Structure 1
Amino acid sequence: MVRTPSGGAGHGTAGGDRLVSIGSVLTQLRDEFPEVTISKIRFLEAEGLVEPRRTPSGYRKFSPEDVERLAQVLRMQRDHYLPLKVIREHLDALARGEQVPAPAQGAPRDPYDLGSEPEPDRPTAARVGRSELLAAAEVTEEELAEWESYGLITPAAEGGYDAESVTVAKLVADMGRFGLEPRHLRAMKAAADREAGLVEQVVAPLRRHRNPQTRAHAEATTKELADLSVRLHAALVQTALGVRLP
């Protein structure tokens, strides 16, 4: 992708020459686009509409040109109802110095819509059998049965276990080496269920939406909120214990 010149500085979405974080980008854009979210910015990046720089630790850093390009994308969606593919091709052509006419206006769409591309195929979540779980986690049948009785691990409704159950089993086993029994870990499971419930409250309306891209956005939002929840939980535990984990 070729970056477009900053162009519309008159809109006030990009200022100064320094690189800024995704949170600062959100603040700059929200005056004109109050519905924009960090998830949407990341979605637009994944779709090739913008390419922020990355720090050695992996954090996104946006230039004024990146911010203005995002504003152009959002403006073309809002004002001309254009799909992302058309917007990307138009902006890239302009960045190459080509004289291209403005794309034909599309049909009005829902404000939650992120584009008109078909809904991406989603791979089915991997499943493992009981014997595979026991072997991968290196635990016994008795241990697994006990963990299931406390709700720490739950078989899928269609049979088998999701791949993350292997990670859960390994972590439960590791904590057991410090004398923590399954009954001690029920509080962690209850807290995780409550956090999942909060995430579900946010994304449920998007998942029920008729537009496939809105439903895809719900999945991206779920992943982002899950990541933030895990990081917040870790930070709270570290703060409570007065330690700093690597």
Structure 2
Amino acid sequence: MERKTRLVSLSELQGLSGASDELVDELLKFGLVEAQGGLFDSNCIKVTKSAVLLASHGVEPRHLRQFRTAADREFSLIETIVGNEMRKPEVSARARAAEEAQEISRQCLEIHEALVQRAISQLDR
């Protein structure tokens, strides 16, 4: 199910996130955000806000490329699972497939978070 999101300009993106021109340029360069007709969606805002916070820890956009790669791989897995349903002409089939894709994504994120948290918990051992 497609959700309508408000698109924002570059200046609005920077105002909402506190990102510099240089940071946004780097995020664009590494494919972490993409403008749609010069406008950015809510996912771009989230990525940019996180990149600003991570920059304060010395994390540069080039370090974030691995997240783009992981996301592309995760999407490929999801698309493999729900792809046939998404291609059906029936709106109900596509809606079910979109819901299933969201659930698979949530579970993938749960696994990712648990694995990272497990590794972090071992830091002080």
TM-score range, shorter chain: 0.7 to 0.9
Letter in 1 for 2:10: R
Residue 26 of structure 2 contacts residue 62 of structure 2 at CA under 8 Å; is this kept in 1? no
Aligned residues: 122
For 2:23, which of 140, 143, 162 is the aligned residue?
Answer: 143
For 1:164, which of 43, 65, 78 is the aligned residue?
Answer: 43
Distance 1:162 1:191, change over 3 A: same
1:27-58 deviation line (CA, Å, top 9, x unaligned): xxxxxxxxxxxxxxxxxxxxxxxxxxxxxxxx
> Are 1:130 and 2:6 an aligned pair?
no
1:1-246 superposed matches below 5 A: 123-156=3-36, 158-242=37-121
Deviation at 1:126, TM superposition (A): 2.8
4+ residue runs over 6 A deviation: none
Distance 1:202 1:126, change over 3 A: farther
1:53-87 deviation line (CA, Å, top 9, x unaligned): xxxxxxxxxxxxxxxxxxxxxxxxxxxxxxxxxxx
What is the distance in 2 between the residues matched to 1:216 and 1:188?
27
Deviation at 1:123, TM superposition (A): 4.4
1:139-190 deviation line (CA, Å, top 9, x unaligned): 111210111111211113x441111111110111111111111111111221
What is the distance in 2 between the residues matched to 1:140 and 1:239?
34
Which structure's CA Rg is the greater one?
1
Q: Paired residue for 1:49?
A: none
Higher helix share: 2
* Higher relative contact order structure (alpha carbons within 8 Å, sequence separation ≥ 6): 2
Query: 3-state SS of the aligned residue for 1:180?
Result: coil
Percent identity of the aligned residues? 31
What is the distance in 2 between the residues matched to 1:123 and 1:224?
16
CA RMSD, Structure 1 to Structure 2 (Å): 1.7
1:165-218 deviation line (CA, Å, top 9, x unaligned): 111101111111111111111112211111111111111111111221111101
Letter in 2 for 1:183: R
Structure 2, gaps ≥5 residues long: none
